[in-house]
Structure formats: structure tokens, C-alpha cells
């Protein structure tokens, strides 16, 4: 599978270790990762590009995104360019995994209703599982993704358990359901 990775070039000075970890996990899952435009570029190089170079890069960007099986965006450091790439990927109907490690999710995407756009907070512990779940979803190995409403009390409990167990809330809920399935719901 081919994955297009994007993140803030400016944010690279703060989050490069996370960018590289995401790329390494994707490669360990036998994904071909398009990431050099982020990892090997610098902010000063981008600023020095002329209009022709920027237009040429934009055409290449469209090719990369349209040919990718899915997109992974690391959004901890805000970037208008990354937001544009996410929008472009949506226009191409690509599955998109939006990751952030600090603070809140990107405000315009936090409660997005597109089932192909998944926004997750990650840590070093839960990142491999999040990526693995998303790849399985893209490959069709997961049956269904659904959303349901819960009370604030349940949300608070899930947050506590998620932090304590160092698991995404979805993984915790899936484990509960699988446990019930094994016992026959008794």
C-alpha cells in the first residue's frame, strides 16, 4: 500500500522524532511512504522557491495524493498547507488518519462527519495500534465504523480508562465487546 505522509515543515524542529516514528511504523507495515517532501525539505528552501517551482510541486502533490491508498497527517503543529492537503485528499475520497500528540485536535476536523477521516490523539505507546487499526480499516479488514452518543459520565470514565490502560477508547470498547462475545454475552 502507498501512503502519503504530511506534517508541518516548520513543526519539524519540534516534532521530527514523532514524524520519523510514524513513518517507521508505516514502513514496518509494508507501506510505501511518500514523505521526503516533509522530511528532507526546510522552511528556508520552501520560502526561496519561485512561482514555477511551487506550481510544479503542487502538480506533484496532487499526483502523490491521488495515487496514495490513504493519507496520514501529523497535525500537532498547526499548518495551513497540511490543512489544504487534507482537503485535497478528501476531494480525492482518500481515507485520512489525522494524528496529534499534544493539545486538542484540529478544530475544523475534530467533529468531522466523514467516516473516511479519523482524528486520533497519540502517544508513543498507542501509536502502533492506532496505525495498525487504520491500515486494517483501509484494507477492509474491519467490518464497520460507527459513532454513537454517550453521556458525559461515560465519556469521563472512558477517558480515565484510556489513560490508565494506555489504550485508545475504541480499542478498549472493542476489547469489552470481544470479551462478551467469547462468553456468549453471559
Please say whether the dihedral angle defined by the alpha carbons of residues 153, 159, 164 and 165, taken in this order, is positive or negative.
positive
Distance between CA 135 and CA 80 in Å, rounded?
26
pLDDT at res. 140? 79
137: Cα separation from own chain's centroid: 12
Phi/psi of residue 94, each to 5°? -90, 145
- Distance from C-alpha of 87 to C-alpha of 65, rounded to nearest angstrom: 11
pLDDT values of the chain reduced to their tens digit, one per residue, 186 residues: 999 999 999 999 999 999 999 999 999 999 999 999 899 887 767 767 788 988 998 899 999 999 999 999 999 999 999 999 999 999 999 999 999 998 877 766 666 666 788 888 999 999 999 999 999 888 875 455 566 777 888 888 988 887 887 777 777 888 888 888 888 766
Q: What is the spatial distance between Cα 130 and Cα 180, in angstroms, rounded to a whole number?
A: 23
The pTM of this model reads: 0.73
Q: From edge to edge, which strands make up the β-sheet containing 2-7?
A: 32-34, 2-7, 70-74, 96-100, 117-121
pLDDT for 180 equals 87
Q: What is the pLDDT of residue 15?
A: 94
**CA-to-CA separations, 100 to 11, 15, 75, 105, 106, in angstroms, rounded:** 12, 10, 5, 6, 8
Distance CA 151, CA 144 (A): 22
Amino acid at each position: 500500500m502507498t501512503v502519503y505522509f504530511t506534517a508541518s515543515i516548520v513543526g519539524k524542529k519540534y516534532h521530527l522524532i514523532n514524524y520519523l516514528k510514524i513513518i517507521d511504523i508505516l514502513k514496518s507495515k509494508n507501506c510505501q511512504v511518500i514523505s521526503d517532501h516533509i522530511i528532507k525539505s526546510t522552511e528556508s528552501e520552501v520560502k526561496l522557491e519561485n512561482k514555477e517551482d511551487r506550481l510544479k510541486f503542487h502538480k506533484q502533490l496532487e499526483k502523490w495524493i491521488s495515487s496514495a491508498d490513504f493519507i496520514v497527517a501529523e497535525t500537532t503543529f498547526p499548518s495551513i498547507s497540511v490543512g489544504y492537503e487534507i482537503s485535497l485528499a478528501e476531494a480525492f475520497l482518500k481515507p485520512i488518519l489525522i494524528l496529534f500528540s499534544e493539545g486538542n485536535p484540529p478544530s475544523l476536523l475534530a467533529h468531522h462527519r466523514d467516516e473516511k477521516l479519523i482524528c486520533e490523539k497519540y502517544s508513543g505507546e498507542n501509536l502502533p495500534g492506532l496505525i495498525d487499526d487504520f491500515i486494517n480499516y483501509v484494507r477492509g479488514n474491519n467490518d464497520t465504523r460507527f459513532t454513537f452518543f454517550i453521556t458525559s459520565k461515560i465519556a469521563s470514565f472512558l477517558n480515565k480508562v484510556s489513560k490508565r490502560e494506555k489504550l485508545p477508547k475504541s480499542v478498549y470498547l472493542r476489547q469489552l465487546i470481544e470479551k462478551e462475545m467469547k462468553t456468549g454475552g453471559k
